[in-house]
Amino acid sequence: MNAVTLGPEGTYSHRAAGAIADEVEFRESVTGIVAAVADGAAPRGVLPVENSIEGSVTESLDALTEYEVAVVRELVTPIRHALLAQGPEFDTVASHSQALAQCRAFLDVEYPDVALEAVASTARGVERAREDPNMAAIAHPDTAGDDLSVLAEGIQDQASNATRFVAIAPRAERSAAGGKTSLVVYPNDDYPGLLLDLLEPFADRGINLTRAESRPSGERLGDYVFHIDVAAGLYEERTQEAVESIEAIAEEGWVCRLGSYDTEHVVA
């Protein structure tokens, strides 16, 4: 199986993708990954959707709304950040914006005067550090190679730092089997109690919500799309009933069933 994910080689996305794919190709953005799968250019894509410290990856949520794909697997991997550089003196730290945010406390205490530069991926930051002795990077310690020194390890703000990735496939491969289900709901409506109405069908049937989050629809100010994950499969009658209730509430909009899937914990 081939997959596309966030590059270049050595990103945490690359490490997660290795759990499902023999060959991995790279894109420069999450949107590019989802577009490649939706267009049929790749059979699988792997993208980050949520971090235990910094929360959701909004570009991923928006891309899952925009393109027709299915979520077929969930991969949870621990994140172990290190500070990498050619030497102890540098004036800029480059990494993905999420990685920089996940190490904010360490950087504030140890390097308060160093500039921070957000780049496309942690691996791209490593490339910058290899090219410029005035640059450091935050990435997995194994990406240091022979060119960089590991100045500090385990620098994430929380020892339990982990990221949730999803594997996506063409919409035709959507499954009803699995322990979790992801939905995208656009009510195209606004009234007091709307969110309660959207959540009650799950509570009434004893279905646990593992995530519920809103994103701007882009249609107008104050108009939202809701991303909902539940701990139940679409094969279950209770889930089908709950989703049908949601579809009735959102009859002026739409409900997208991204699919059901199982979770795998991956050591990256």
**pLDDT of amino acid 104:** 95
CA gap 107, 98 in Å, rounded: 14
Of 28-32, 35-39, 131-135, 183-187, the poorest mean pLDDT is in: 28-32
* Range(s) of the chain covered by CATH 3.30.70.260: 176-267
**pLDDT of amino acid 206:** 98
**pLDDT of amino acid 268:** 61
Amino acid at 100: L
Q: What is the mean pLDDT of residues 201-224?
A: 95
Query: Is pLDDT of 15 > 90?
Result: no
Could you tell me which of 181, 199, 182 has the C-alpha nearest to residue 236? 181
Residue 180 in 3-state DSSP?
strand
Confidence band, pLDDT 50/70/90 cuts, at residue 159: confident
DSSP state of 207: P
Q: Which residue has the tokens 């979770």?
A: 263
How many Cβ atoms sit within 10 Å of the Cβ of residue 38? Answer: 18
Q: What is the mean pLDDT of residues 244-258?
A: 97
User: Domain 1-79+161-174 belongs to what architecture?
Assistant: 3-Layer(aba) Sandwich (3.40)
User: Domain 176-267 belongs to what architecture?
Assistant: 2-Layer Sandwich (3.30)
Task: Give domain 82-153's CATH superfamily.
Answer: Periplasmic binding protein-like II (3.40.190.10)
10 Å CB burial of residue 48 (0-12, 13-18, 19+) is: buried
Query: Is pLDDT of 267 > 80?
Result: no
**pLDDT of amino acid 54:** 83
**Cβ within 8 Å of residue 2, ≥6 positions away:** 21, 22, 23, 24, 25, 42, 43, 44
Confidence band, pLDDT 50/70/90 cuts, at residue 138: very high
Q: What is the mean pLDDT of residues 118-135?
A: 94
CA gap 173, 219 in Å, rounded: 29
Could you tell me which of 158, 156, 15 has the C-alpha nearest to residue 99? 156
The answer to whether 189 and 248 have CB atoms below 8 angstroms apart is no
Q: What is the mean pLDDT of residues 52-57?
A: 87
Confidence band, pLDDT 50/70/90 cuts, at residue 1: confident
Task: Give the tokens for residue 79.
Answer: 């994140």
**pLDDT of amino acid 101:** 92
Q: Which is it for strands 23-27 and 2-6: parallel, antiparallel or unpaired?
A: parallel
**pLDDT of amino acid 79:** 87
10 Å CB burial of residue 248 (0-12, 13-18, 19+) is: exposed
CA gap 260, 227 in Å, rounded: 14
* Range(s) of the chain covered by CATH 3.40.190.10: 1-79+161-174, 82-153
Mean pLDDT over each residue of the chain, to the nearest integer: 94
Q: What is the mean pLDDT of residues 111-140?
A: 95
Query: Is pLDDT of 81 > 80?
Result: yes
Q: What is the mean pLDDT of residues 205-220?
A: 95
How many Cβ atoms sit within 10 Å of the Cβ of residue 228? Answer: 22
Query: Is pLDDT of 166 > 70?
Result: yes
